[in-house]
Chains A and B, each alone.
Chain A
């Protein structure tokens, strides 16, 4: 079945440093979504990418969908302590298929 892996599993940065998490799917995706889950909380939708090579920005967050639609990345510029949490990508295969969540990357930001 479809598998979605993320690297790194965990990253600890100093406030102000940049952060990137990478998401790789074993199969081609029709779209990919990104979610953030704060400690003790539930996933909150960040964005959805649909087109090959698509790049979207939300303030300090930059999301990219690979040309082959099998990988994606999330880059945070100048991290802040409020960025702490686990970031999940979630991919949907071609046709109406279930959303498969990635393994997640846990981000810790020290002041």
Chain B
């Protein structure tokens, strides 16, 4: 199956700093990638849909200026959490749709962000 990687797998930062998370599709091209946030023991909440070469589509309630998404190539999307605060601490997971048209989404291993 298709492989999606994320980097870093975990990060601890001070309040007020910015953190960049990378999502890569390793063996396929992903025109669309998705960014989710998951709090402990809760479901995945879609934050935004990232389209290669165009602006991301954000879900209602997600601040565009705080969660910057860049999808510069068919294999890389980045999420930057700007001026992070403790309430931004969460598990951030990206996913990408394959090219088979099956609708299956392949998830990255996730990034656990802790803001002190």
User: Please, which residues of chain B bring their CB within 8 A of the CB of A106?
Assistant: 41
Q: List 13 A-B contacts (CB under 8 A).
A: A31-B103, A42-B108, A42-B110, A44-B107, A45-B106, A88-B44, A98-B46, A99-B105, A101-B36, A101-B43, A101-B44, A101-B45, A101-B46
CB-CB under 8 A from A45, the residues of chain B are 104-107
Known: A98-B46, A98-B49, A99-B46. A43 touches B41 (CB 8 A): no
- CB contacts (< 8 Å) of A99 on chain B: these are 34, 46, 105
Chain B interface residue count, CB cutoff 8 Å, equals 22
**Which chain B residues numbered 30 to 81 have a C-beta less than 8 Å away from chain A?**
34, 36, 41-46, 49, 59-60
A102 and B43 CA atoms in complex are apart in Å by 7
Closest beta carbon of chain A to B42's beta carbon, Å: 8
Main SS class of interface, A: strand
B residues bordering A, Cβ < 8 Å?
34, 36, 41-46, 49, 59-60, 93, 95, 102-110
A88 touches B43 (CB 8 A): yes
- Contact assessment for A48 and B104 in the assembled complex, using a CB-CB cutoff below 8 Å: yes
**Cβ–Cβ < 8 Å partners of B59 in chain A:** 98
Chain A: minimal CB distance from B50 (Å): 12
Chain A, residue nearest B60 (CB): A1
Hey, which chain A residues are within 8 Å of B34, CB to CB? 98-99
| Residues 55-111 of A at the B interface (beta carbon under 8 Å) | 88, 92, 98-104, 106
Q: What distance in Å separates the Cβ of A103 from its nearest Cβ neighbour in chain B?
A: 5
Contact A42–B107 (Cβ < 8 Å): yes
Whether A43 contacts B44 by the Cβ 8 Å rule is: yes
